[in-house]
Structure 1
Protein backbone atom coordinates (compact mmCIF):
# COMPACT_ATOMS: atom_id res chain seq x y z
CA UNK A 1 0.00 0.00 0.00
CA UNK A 2 2.88 2.33 0.81
CA UNK A 3 4.46 1.57 -2.58
CA UNK A 4 1.21 2.51 -4.32
CA UNK A 5 1.13 5.81 -2.43
CA UNK A 6 4.67 6.77 -3.52
CA UNK A 7 4.01 5.58 -7.08
CA UNK A 8 0.90 7.78 -7.27
CA UNK A 9 2.85 10.70 -5.84
CA UNK A 10 5.63 10.27 -8.42
CA UNK A 11 3.04 10.06 -11.20
CA UNK A 12 1.39 13.29 -10.05
CA UNK A 13 4.77 15.03 -9.87
CA UNK A 14 5.61 13.84 -13.39
CA UNK A 15 2.25 15.09 -14.70
CA UNK A 16 2.70 18.52 -13.09
CA UNK A 17 6.24 18.87 -14.47
CA UNK A 18 5.08 17.80 -17.93
CA UNK A 19 2.24 20.33 -17.83
CA UNK A 20 4.63 23.08 -16.74
CA UNK A 21 7.05 22.18 -19.55
CA UNK A 22 4.20 22.18 -22.08
CA UNK A 23 3.00 25.62 -20.93
CA UNK A 24 6.56 26.95 -21.17
CA UNK A 25 6.95 25.70 -24.73
CA UNK A 26 3.59 27.18 -25.72
CA UNK A 27 4.57 30.54 -24.22
CA UNK A 28 7.90 30.50 -26.10
CA UNK A 29 6.16 29.74 -29.39
CA UNK A 30 3.45 32.38 -28.95
CA UNK A 31 5.90 35.15 -27.94
CA UNK A 32 8.56 34.12 -30.51
CA UNK A 33 11.15 34.15 -27.75
CA UNK A 34 14.65 33.13 -28.82
CA UNK A 35 15.89 31.01 -25.92
CA UNK A 36 19.45 30.64 -27.25
CA UNK A 37 19.82 34.37 -27.88
CA UNK A 38 18.42 35.12 -24.43
CA UNK A 39 20.98 32.98 -22.63
CA UNK A 40 23.92 34.05 -24.80
CA UNK A 41 23.14 37.73 -24.13
CA UNK A 42 23.65 37.32 -20.37
CA UNK A 43 27.49 37.63 -20.49
CA UNK A 44 27.23 40.81 -22.59
CA UNK A 45 24.68 42.27 -20.17
CA UNK A 46 26.93 41.47 -17.21
CA UNK A 47 29.90 43.05 -19.00
CA UNK A 48 27.90 46.25 -19.62
CA UNK A 49 26.89 46.42 -15.95
CA UNK A 50 30.48 46.08 -14.72
CA UNK A 51 31.72 48.69 -17.20
CA UNK A 52 28.98 51.30 -16.81
CA UNK A 53 26.67 50.69 -13.86
CA UNK A 54 28.76 51.68 -10.81
CA UNK A 55 28.87 54.82 -8.63
CA UNK A 56 31.73 57.28 -9.10
CA UNK A 57 32.90 60.45 -7.36
CA UNK A 58 30.42 62.61 -9.27
CA UNK A 59 27.52 60.38 -8.23
CA UNK A 60 28.44 60.70 -4.55
CA UNK A 61 27.69 64.44 -4.74
CA UNK A 62 24.06 63.52 -5.36
CA UNK A 63 23.91 61.37 -2.21
CA UNK A 64 21.99 63.98 -0.10
CA UNK A 65 19.26 64.19 -2.76
CA UNK A 66 19.13 60.39 -2.97
CA UNK A 67 18.88 60.06 0.82
CA UNK A 68 16.05 62.62 0.84
CA UNK A 69 14.12 60.66 -1.81
CA UNK A 70 14.79 57.40 0.02
CA UNK A 71 13.53 58.88 3.31
CA UNK A 72 10.30 59.94 1.62
CA UNK A 73 9.83 56.47 0.16
CA UNK A 74 10.45 54.70 3.47
CA UNK A 75 8.16 57.01 5.46
CA UNK A 76 5.32 56.68 2.95
CA UNK A 77 5.70 52.88 3.02
CA UNK A 78 5.62 52.77 6.83
CA UNK A 79 2.63 55.12 7.02
CA UNK A 80 0.64 53.19 4.42
CA UNK A 81 1.39 49.85 6.10
CA UNK A 82 0.50 50.92 9.65
CA UNK A 83 -2.77 52.63 8.69
CA UNK A 84 -3.72 49.69 6.45
CA UNK A 85 -3.00 47.32 9.36
CA UNK A 86 -5.55 49.14 11.56
CA UNK A 87 -8.30 48.87 8.95
CA UNK A 88 -7.27 45.31 8.09
CA UNK A 89 -7.63 44.27 11.74
CA UNK A 90 -11.17 45.63 11.89
CA UNK A 91 -12.18 43.85 8.69
CA UNK A 92 -10.40 40.67 9.81
CA UNK A 93 -12.39 40.66 13.05
CA UNK A 94 -15.58 40.90 11.01
CA UNK A 95 -14.52 38.27 8.47
CA UNK A 96 -13.01 35.73 10.86
CA UNK A 97 -14.92 32.56 11.71
CA UNK A 98 -13.86 32.93 15.36
CA UNK A 99 -14.81 36.57 15.97
CA UNK A 100 -17.05 37.46 13.02
CA UNK A 101 -20.82 37.60 13.28
CA UNK A 102 -21.13 35.52 10.11
CA UNK A 103 -23.71 35.98 7.43
CA UNK A 104 -23.63 38.73 4.83
CA UNK A 105 -21.32 41.07 6.72
CA UNK A 106 -18.61 38.43 7.05
CA UNK A 107 -18.92 37.54 3.37
CA UNK A 108 -18.72 41.21 2.34
CA UNK A 109 -15.62 41.72 4.51
CA UNK A 110 -13.80 38.78 2.94
CA UNK A 111 -14.89 39.76 -0.58
CA UNK A 112 -13.54 43.30 -0.18
CA UNK A 113 -10.23 41.94 1.08
CA UNK A 114 -10.02 39.52 -1.86
CA UNK A 115 -10.66 42.28 -4.41
CA UNK A 116 -8.07 44.62 -2.91
CA UNK A 117 -5.51 41.81 -2.54
CA UNK A 118 -5.76 40.66 -6.15
CA UNK A 119 -5.18 44.10 -7.66
CA UNK A 120 -1.45 44.79 -7.85
CA UNK A 121 -0.08 48.02 -6.40
CA UNK A 122 1.18 49.09 -9.83
CA UNK A 123 -2.38 48.74 -11.13
CA UNK A 124 -3.63 50.76 -8.16
CA UNK A 125 -1.07 53.45 -9.02
CA UNK A 126 -2.29 53.74 -12.59
CA UNK A 127 -5.92 53.83 -11.46
CA UNK A 128 -5.25 56.49 -8.83
CA UNK A 129 -3.14 58.60 -11.20
CA UNK A 130 -6.38 59.59 -12.93
CA UNK A 131 -7.81 61.02 -9.70
CA UNK A 132 -4.77 62.35 -7.82
CA UNK A 133 -2.12 62.88 -10.48
CA UNK A 134 1.60 62.41 -9.92
CA UNK A 135 2.17 63.07 -6.23
CA UNK A 136 2.95 61.34 -2.96
CA UNK A 137 -0.73 60.82 -2.15
CA UNK A 138 -1.15 58.54 -5.17
CA UNK A 139 1.71 56.31 -4.05
CA UNK A 140 0.42 56.31 -0.48
CA UNK A 141 -3.07 55.14 -1.44
CA UNK A 142 -1.70 52.54 -3.86
CA UNK A 143 0.40 51.01 -1.07
CA UNK A 144 -2.48 51.37 1.39
CA UNK A 145 -4.99 49.50 -0.78
CA UNK A 146 -2.55 46.71 -1.60
CA UNK A 147 -1.49 46.36 2.04
CA UNK A 148 -5.08 46.41 3.26
CA UNK A 149 -6.11 43.49 1.08
CA UNK A 150 -3.07 41.37 1.90
CA UNK A 151 -3.09 42.05 5.64
CA UNK A 152 -6.84 41.44 5.98
CA UNK A 153 -6.44 37.99 4.49
CA UNK A 154 -3.35 37.26 6.61
CA UNK A 155 -5.02 38.52 9.80
CA UNK A 156 -8.13 36.40 9.21
CA UNK A 157 -6.01 33.26 8.87
CA UNK A 158 -3.94 34.14 11.96
CA UNK A 159 -7.03 34.82 14.07
CA UNK A 160 -8.76 31.60 12.98
CA UNK A 161 -5.63 29.53 13.56
CA UNK A 162 -4.54 30.84 16.95
CA UNK A 163 -7.60 32.00 18.84
CA UNK A 164 -10.37 29.47 18.13
CA UNK A 165 -9.96 27.41 21.33
CA UNK A 166 -9.57 30.42 23.64
CA UNK A 167 -12.58 32.15 22.06
CA UNK A 168 -14.75 29.09 22.67
CA UNK A 169 -13.55 28.93 26.27
CA UNK A 170 -14.47 32.56 26.96
CA UNK A 171 -17.82 32.21 25.21
CA UNK A 172 -18.68 29.27 27.44
CA UNK A 173 -18.14 31.52 30.49
CA UNK A 174 -20.56 34.12 29.09
CA UNK A 175 -17.94 36.73 28.12
CA UNK A 176 -19.06 39.52 25.79
CA UNK A 177 -17.77 40.20 22.28
CA UNK A 178 -15.32 42.99 23.18
CA UNK A 179 -14.03 41.06 26.19
CA UNK A 180 -13.28 38.12 23.89
CA UNK A 181 -11.53 40.35 21.36
CA UNK A 182 -9.35 42.32 23.79
CA UNK A 183 -8.69 39.59 26.36
CA UNK A 184 -8.22 36.61 24.07
CA UNK A 185 -7.99 37.26 20.35
CA UNK A 186 -5.59 40.20 20.19
CA UNK A 187 -3.21 38.99 22.97
CA UNK A 188 -2.93 35.52 21.45
CA UNK A 189 -2.52 36.78 17.86
CA UNK A 190 -0.36 39.87 18.39
CA UNK A 191 3.00 38.16 17.59
CA UNK A 192 1.70 36.84 14.27
CA UNK A 193 0.01 40.15 13.44
CA UNK A 194 3.21 42.11 14.08
CA UNK A 195 5.16 39.62 11.98
CA UNK A 196 2.77 40.13 9.05
CA UNK A 197 2.95 43.92 9.42
CA UNK A 198 6.76 43.83 9.35
CA UNK A 199 6.71 41.60 6.28
CA UNK A 200 4.29 43.97 4.53
CA UNK A 201 6.48 46.93 5.46
CA UNK A 202 9.52 45.30 3.82
CA UNK A 203 7.51 44.48 0.72
CA UNK A 204 6.10 48.00 0.46
CA UNK A 205 9.54 49.62 0.57
CA UNK A 206 10.51 47.50 -2.44
CA UNK A 207 7.27 48.20 -4.26
CA UNK A 208 7.40 51.91 -3.45
CA UNK A 209 10.39 52.24 -5.78
CA UNK A 210 8.33 51.00 -8.73
CA UNK A 211 5.38 53.15 -7.68
CA UNK A 212 7.69 56.18 -7.51
CA UNK A 213 8.58 55.67 -11.18
CA UNK A 214 4.89 55.78 -12.07
CA UNK A 215 3.89 58.63 -9.74
CA UNK A 216 7.03 60.75 -10.11
CA UNK A 217 7.91 60.71 -6.41
CA UNK A 218 10.54 59.36 -4.04
CA UNK A 219 13.53 57.25 -4.86
CA UNK A 220 11.82 55.65 -7.85
CA UNK A 221 11.46 59.01 -9.60
CA UNK A 222 15.15 59.80 -9.04
CA UNK A 223 16.18 56.42 -10.45
CA UNK A 224 14.00 56.94 -13.53
CA UNK A 225 15.34 60.47 -13.98
CA UNK A 226 19.01 59.49 -13.77
CA UNK A 227 18.62 56.35 -15.85
CA UNK A 228 16.75 58.10 -18.66
CA UNK A 229 19.35 60.88 -18.71
CA UNK A 230 22.07 58.17 -19.08
CA UNK A 231 23.53 59.07 -15.68
CA UNK A 232 24.22 55.43 -14.88
CA UNK A 233 26.62 56.16 -12.02
CA UNK A 234 23.92 58.02 -10.05
CA UNK A 235 21.33 55.36 -10.92
CA UNK A 236 23.65 52.63 -9.67
CA UNK A 237 24.19 54.56 -6.43
CA UNK A 238 20.42 54.60 -5.91
CA UNK A 239 20.29 50.82 -6.39
CA UNK A 240 23.15 50.35 -3.92
CA UNK A 241 21.57 52.62 -1.29
CA UNK A 242 18.19 50.93 -1.74
CA UNK A 243 19.66 47.44 -1.36
CA UNK A 244 21.51 48.47 1.80
CA UNK A 245 18.35 50.03 3.23
CA UNK A 246 16.26 46.94 2.54
CA UNK A 247 18.98 44.76 4.08
CA UNK A 248 19.04 46.87 7.27
CA UNK A 249 15.23 46.90 7.55
CA UNK A 250 15.05 43.16 6.95
CA UNK A 251 17.70 42.54 9.62
CA UNK A 252 15.75 44.63 12.14
CA UNK A 253 12.51 42.93 11.13
CA UNK A 254 13.99 39.44 11.54
CA UNK A 255 15.33 40.39 14.99
CA UNK A 256 11.90 41.68 16.07
CA UNK A 257 10.24 38.50 14.79
CA UNK A 258 12.77 36.39 16.68
CA UNK A 259 12.01 38.27 19.90
CA UNK A 260 8.20 38.21 19.69
CA UNK A 261 7.66 34.71 18.26
Structure 2
Protein backbone atom coordinates (compact mmCIF):
# COMPACT_ATOMS: atom_id res chain seq x y z
CA UNK A 1 0.00 0.00 0.00
CA UNK A 2 2.85 2.38 0.85
CA UNK A 3 4.53 1.66 -2.46
CA UNK A 4 1.26 2.34 -4.29
CA UNK A 5 0.77 5.69 -2.55
CA UNK A 6 4.34 6.67 -3.36
CA UNK A 7 3.85 5.84 -7.03
CA UNK A 8 0.60 7.83 -7.02
CA UNK A 9 1.90 11.02 -5.41
CA UNK A 10 5.44 11.14 -6.78
CA UNK A 11 4.45 12.50 -10.24
CA UNK A 12 2.21 15.13 -8.61
CA UNK A 13 5.02 16.19 -6.26
CA UNK A 14 7.39 16.44 -9.22
CA UNK A 15 4.89 18.52 -11.19
CA UNK A 16 4.31 20.75 -8.19
CA UNK A 17 8.06 21.25 -7.81
CA UNK A 18 8.43 22.29 -11.47
CA UNK A 19 5.48 24.67 -11.24
CA UNK A 20 6.89 26.18 -8.05
CA UNK A 21 10.32 26.66 -9.63
CA UNK A 22 8.73 28.25 -12.70
CA UNK A 23 6.76 30.73 -10.58
CA UNK A 24 9.81 31.55 -8.47
CA UNK A 25 12.09 32.09 -11.49
CA UNK A 26 9.54 34.06 -13.53
CA UNK A 27 8.86 36.41 -10.64
CA UNK A 28 12.57 36.84 -9.94
CA UNK A 29 13.30 38.03 -13.50
CA UNK A 30 9.88 39.56 -14.18
CA UNK A 31 9.13 37.11 -17.00
CA UNK A 32 5.66 37.50 -18.50
CA UNK A 33 4.40 34.40 -20.30
CA UNK A 34 1.44 36.31 -21.76
CA UNK A 35 3.76 38.83 -23.42
CA UNK A 36 5.82 35.97 -24.86
CA UNK A 37 2.76 34.18 -26.26
CA UNK A 38 1.27 37.34 -27.77
CA UNK A 39 4.59 38.13 -29.48
CA UNK A 40 4.65 34.83 -31.37
CA UNK A 41 2.38 35.99 -34.26
CA UNK A 42 4.54 39.09 -34.72
CA UNK A 43 7.67 36.95 -34.75
CA UNK A 44 6.19 34.62 -37.37
CA UNK A 45 5.17 37.61 -39.50
CA UNK A 46 8.69 39.06 -39.17
CA UNK A 47 10.26 35.80 -40.35
CA UNK A 48 7.90 35.45 -43.31
CA UNK A 49 7.97 39.09 -44.44
CA UNK A 50 11.43 40.34 -43.46
CA UNK A 51 13.60 37.19 -43.44
CA UNK A 52 12.15 35.15 -46.28
CA UNK A 53 13.03 34.39 -48.95
CA UNK A 54 16.80 34.17 -48.39
CA UNK A 55 18.89 36.24 -50.78
CA UNK A 56 20.53 33.37 -52.67
CA UNK A 57 22.17 35.77 -55.13
CA UNK A 58 24.56 36.73 -52.31
CA UNK A 59 25.83 33.15 -51.84
CA UNK A 60 29.01 33.64 -53.94
CA UNK A 61 30.04 36.37 -51.49
CA UNK A 62 30.06 33.83 -48.67
CA UNK A 63 32.55 31.38 -50.18
CA UNK A 64 35.49 32.99 -48.39
CA UNK A 65 33.73 33.17 -44.98
CA UNK A 66 32.71 29.51 -45.39
CA UNK A 67 36.30 28.49 -46.09
CA UNK A 68 37.52 30.65 -43.21
CA UNK A 69 35.08 28.96 -40.84
CA UNK A 70 36.21 25.50 -41.98
CA UNK A 71 39.92 26.34 -41.78
CA UNK A 72 39.53 27.97 -38.36
CA UNK A 73 37.84 24.80 -37.11
CA UNK A 74 40.50 22.55 -38.63
CA UNK A 75 43.34 24.62 -37.20
CA UNK A 76 41.80 24.83 -33.74
CA UNK A 77 40.96 21.12 -33.72
CA UNK A 78 44.46 20.02 -34.78
CA UNK A 79 46.30 22.34 -32.39
CA UNK A 80 43.84 21.62 -29.59
CA UNK A 81 44.01 17.84 -30.04
CA UNK A 82 47.81 17.73 -30.04
CA UNK A 83 48.09 19.96 -26.97
CA UNK A 84 45.30 18.05 -25.24
CA UNK A 85 47.10 14.75 -25.83
CA UNK A 86 50.21 16.14 -24.17
CA UNK A 87 48.19 17.39 -21.20
CA UNK A 88 46.34 14.06 -21.02
CA UNK A 89 49.63 12.21 -20.60
CA UNK A 90 50.47 14.58 -17.75
CA UNK A 91 47.15 14.28 -15.90
CA UNK A 92 46.12 10.65 -16.53
CA UNK A 93 46.76 8.57 -13.41
CA UNK A 94 48.47 5.78 -15.35
CA UNK A 95 50.82 7.98 -17.34
CA UNK A 96 51.63 11.05 -15.27
CA UNK A 97 55.20 11.24 -13.92
CA UNK A 98 54.15 14.04 -11.54
CA UNK A 99 50.92 13.16 -9.66
CA UNK A 100 50.90 16.35 -7.58
CA UNK A 101 51.50 18.56 -10.61
CA UNK A 102 48.70 16.67 -12.39
CA UNK A 103 46.22 17.87 -9.76
CA UNK A 104 47.19 21.50 -10.42
CA UNK A 105 46.95 21.04 -14.19
CA UNK A 106 43.54 19.38 -13.87
CA UNK A 107 42.33 22.33 -11.82
CA UNK A 108 43.65 24.85 -14.35
CA UNK A 109 42.01 22.98 -17.24
CA UNK A 110 38.71 22.78 -15.34
CA UNK A 111 38.89 26.55 -14.79
CA UNK A 112 39.42 27.18 -18.51
CA UNK A 113 36.70 24.68 -19.45
CA UNK A 114 34.08 26.34 -17.26
CA UNK A 115 34.50 29.77 -18.82
CA UNK A 116 32.05 30.07 -21.76
CA UNK A 117 33.66 30.12 -25.18
CA UNK A 118 31.99 33.43 -26.05
CA UNK A 119 33.77 35.00 -23.07
CA UNK A 120 37.15 33.74 -24.31
CA UNK A 121 36.39 35.02 -27.81
CA UNK A 122 35.39 38.45 -26.48
CA UNK A 123 38.61 38.66 -24.45
CA UNK A 124 40.81 37.69 -27.40
CA UNK A 125 39.01 40.16 -29.68
CA UNK A 126 40.09 42.84 -27.20
CA UNK A 127 43.66 41.47 -27.03
CA UNK A 128 44.42 40.63 -30.69
CA UNK A 129 41.68 42.61 -32.43
CA UNK A 130 38.66 41.71 -34.53
CA UNK A 131 39.27 38.81 -36.89
CA UNK A 132 40.01 35.14 -37.31
CA UNK A 133 42.98 34.96 -34.91
CA UNK A 134 40.75 35.67 -31.93
CA UNK A 135 38.41 32.88 -33.01
CA UNK A 136 41.24 30.37 -33.46
CA UNK A 137 42.74 31.09 -30.04
CA UNK A 138 39.35 30.91 -28.30
CA UNK A 139 38.58 27.57 -29.95
CA UNK A 140 42.05 26.23 -29.06
CA UNK A 141 41.46 27.11 -25.40
CA UNK A 142 38.13 25.29 -25.47
CA UNK A 143 39.50 22.31 -27.42
CA UNK A 144 42.45 21.76 -25.08
CA UNK A 145 40.37 22.03 -21.90
CA UNK A 146 37.65 19.75 -23.30
CA UNK A 147 39.79 17.03 -24.87
CA UNK A 148 42.41 16.84 -22.11
CA UNK A 149 39.92 15.43 -19.66
CA UNK A 150 38.36 13.08 -22.23
CA UNK A 151 41.76 11.78 -23.35
CA UNK A 152 42.98 11.33 -19.76
CA UNK A 153 39.87 9.33 -18.87
CA UNK A 154 40.34 7.17 -21.97
CA UNK A 155 43.97 6.45 -21.05
CA UNK A 156 42.94 5.50 -17.52
CA UNK A 157 40.23 3.17 -18.87
CA UNK A 158 42.68 1.01 -20.83
CA UNK A 159 42.62 -2.63 -19.64
CA UNK A 160 44.54 -2.76 -16.39
CA UNK A 161 45.20 -6.51 -16.59
CA UNK A 162 47.23 -6.24 -19.79
CA UNK A 163 49.36 -3.44 -18.37
CA UNK A 164 50.02 -5.34 -15.14
CA UNK A 165 50.98 -8.48 -17.04
CA UNK A 166 53.49 -6.60 -19.17
CA UNK A 167 54.84 -4.73 -16.15
CA UNK A 168 55.44 -8.03 -14.34
CA UNK A 169 57.48 -9.15 -17.36
CA UNK A 170 59.76 -6.14 -17.04
CA UNK A 171 58.18 -3.63 -19.42
CA UNK A 172 58.95 -0.02 -18.53
CA UNK A 173 56.27 2.64 -18.15
CA UNK A 174 57.49 4.39 -21.30
CA UNK A 175 57.32 1.13 -23.25
CA UNK A 176 53.78 0.51 -22.03
CA UNK A 177 52.70 3.97 -23.13
CA UNK A 178 54.36 3.69 -26.55
CA UNK A 179 53.54 0.09 -27.46
CA UNK A 180 50.26 -0.59 -25.66
CA UNK A 181 48.41 2.48 -24.44
CA UNK A 182 48.82 4.78 -27.44
CA UNK A 183 47.87 2.15 -30.09
CA UNK A 184 44.79 1.20 -28.06
CA UNK A 185 43.95 4.85 -27.48
CA UNK A 186 44.23 6.01 -31.12
CA UNK A 187 40.69 5.05 -32.27
CA UNK A 188 39.30 7.00 -29.31
CA UNK A 189 41.60 9.90 -30.21
CA UNK A 190 40.39 10.07 -33.82
CA UNK A 191 36.74 9.70 -32.84
CA UNK A 192 36.86 12.54 -30.33
CA UNK A 193 38.83 14.81 -32.67
CA UNK A 194 36.15 14.37 -35.33
CA UNK A 195 33.47 15.15 -32.75
CA UNK A 196 35.45 18.20 -31.64
CA UNK A 197 35.68 19.38 -35.25
CA UNK A 198 31.87 19.30 -35.46
CA UNK A 199 31.63 21.35 -32.26
CA UNK A 200 34.22 23.83 -33.52
CA UNK A 201 32.37 24.30 -36.82
CA UNK A 202 29.24 25.22 -34.88
CA UNK A 203 31.15 27.37 -32.42
CA UNK A 204 33.15 29.23 -35.07
CA UNK A 205 29.89 30.15 -36.78
CA UNK A 206 28.70 31.72 -33.52
CA UNK A 207 31.97 33.32 -32.39
CA UNK A 208 31.80 35.71 -35.33
CA UNK A 209 28.95 37.45 -33.53
CA UNK A 210 31.55 38.91 -31.14
CA UNK A 211 33.90 39.83 -33.99
CA UNK A 212 35.92 36.61 -34.26
CA UNK A 213 35.56 36.29 -38.05
CA UNK A 214 33.93 33.66 -40.26
CA UNK A 215 30.26 33.21 -41.11
CA UNK A 216 29.13 34.53 -37.74
CA UNK A 217 30.79 37.88 -38.41
CA UNK A 218 29.04 38.16 -41.77
CA UNK A 219 25.75 37.28 -40.08
CA UNK A 220 26.29 39.98 -37.46
CA UNK A 221 27.00 42.57 -40.16
CA UNK A 222 23.84 41.63 -42.06
CA UNK A 223 21.72 41.90 -38.92
CA UNK A 224 23.30 45.20 -37.89
CA UNK A 225 22.58 46.64 -41.35
CA UNK A 226 19.01 45.25 -41.31
CA UNK A 227 19.78 43.09 -44.37
CA UNK A 228 17.54 40.32 -43.14
CA UNK A 229 17.26 38.47 -46.46
CA UNK A 230 21.06 38.25 -46.53
CA UNK A 231 20.99 37.08 -42.90
CA UNK A 232 18.54 34.30 -43.71
CA UNK A 233 20.80 33.17 -46.56
CA UNK A 234 23.72 33.04 -44.13
CA UNK A 235 21.68 31.05 -41.62
CA UNK A 236 20.81 28.61 -44.41
CA UNK A 237 24.51 28.32 -45.32
CA UNK A 238 25.45 27.67 -41.68
CA UNK A 239 22.80 24.95 -41.31
CA UNK A 240 23.82 23.22 -44.56
CA UNK A 241 27.50 23.42 -43.57
CA UNK A 242 26.85 21.88 -40.15
CA UNK A 243 24.74 19.05 -41.56
CA UNK A 244 27.34 18.31 -44.24
CA UNK A 245 30.20 18.26 -41.74
CA UNK A 246 28.22 16.02 -39.39
CA UNK A 247 27.42 13.53 -42.17
CA UNK A 248 31.04 13.37 -43.35
CA UNK A 249 32.30 13.08 -39.77
CA UNK A 250 29.91 10.21 -39.01
CA UNK A 251 31.04 8.30 -42.10
CA UNK A 252 34.72 8.75 -41.23
CA UNK A 253 34.05 7.78 -37.61
CA UNK A 254 32.28 4.58 -38.66
CA UNK A 255 35.15 3.72 -41.00
CA UNK A 256 37.90 4.04 -38.39
CA UNK A 257 36.13 2.83 -35.24
Q: TM-score, normalised by structure 1?
A: 0.88
Instruction: Encode CA deviations 1:61-81: one digit per residue, 9 max, x unaligned.
Output: 321221211110111011101
RMSD: 2.5
SS at match of 1:62: helix
Of the candidates 221, 225, 239, which is equivalent to residue 225 of structure 1?
221
In 1, the alpha carbon distance for the partners of 2:207 and 2:141 equals 13
SS at match of 1:119: coil
Query: Which stretch has the larger CA shift, 13-22 or 105-114?
Result: 13-22
1:6 is displaced (CA, Å) by: 10
Of the candidates 233, 239, 256, which is equivalent to residue 237 of structure 1?
233
Number of residue-to-residue matches in the alignment = 257
**Contact 2:91/2:99 (CA < 8 Å) preserved in 1?**
no
In 1, the alpha carbon distance for the partners of 2:159 and 2:17 equals 40
In 2, the alpha carbon distance for the partners of 1:157 and 1:88 equals 12
Of the candidates 139, 142, 151, which is equivalent to residue 138 of structure 2?
142
Structure 2: 5+ residue stretches without partners: none
**Contact 1:77/1:201 (CA < 8 Å) preserved in 2?**
yes
The reply on whether 1:54 has 2:52 as its aligned counterpart is yes
Q: Equivalences for 1:37-116 in 2 at 5 Å?
A: 37-56=35-54, 59-116=55-112
| Structure 1 residues 167 and 217: alpha-carbon distance in aligned structure 2, compared to 1, 3 A threshold | same
Of the candidates 14, 19, 22, which is equivalent to residue 20 of structure 2?
22
1:4 is displaced (CA, Å) by: 8.5
Counterpart in 2 of 1:159? 155
In 2, the alpha carbon distance for the partners of 1:46 and 1:141 equals 37
Instruction: Encode CA deviations 1:21-74: one digit per residue, 9 max, x unaligned.
Output: 433322110111111221332233123212221345xx3332122121111011
Q: TM-score, normalised by structure 2?
A: 0.89
In 1, the alpha carbon distance for the partners of 2:153 and 2:2 equals 34
1:252 is displaced (CA, Å) by: 1.0
SS at match of 1:255: helix
Instruction: Encode CA deviations 1:189-224: one digit per residue, 9 max, x unaligned.
Output: 222222211111111111112211212521111111
**Contact 1:163/1:184 (CA < 8 Å) preserved in 2?**
no
SS at match of 2:157: helix
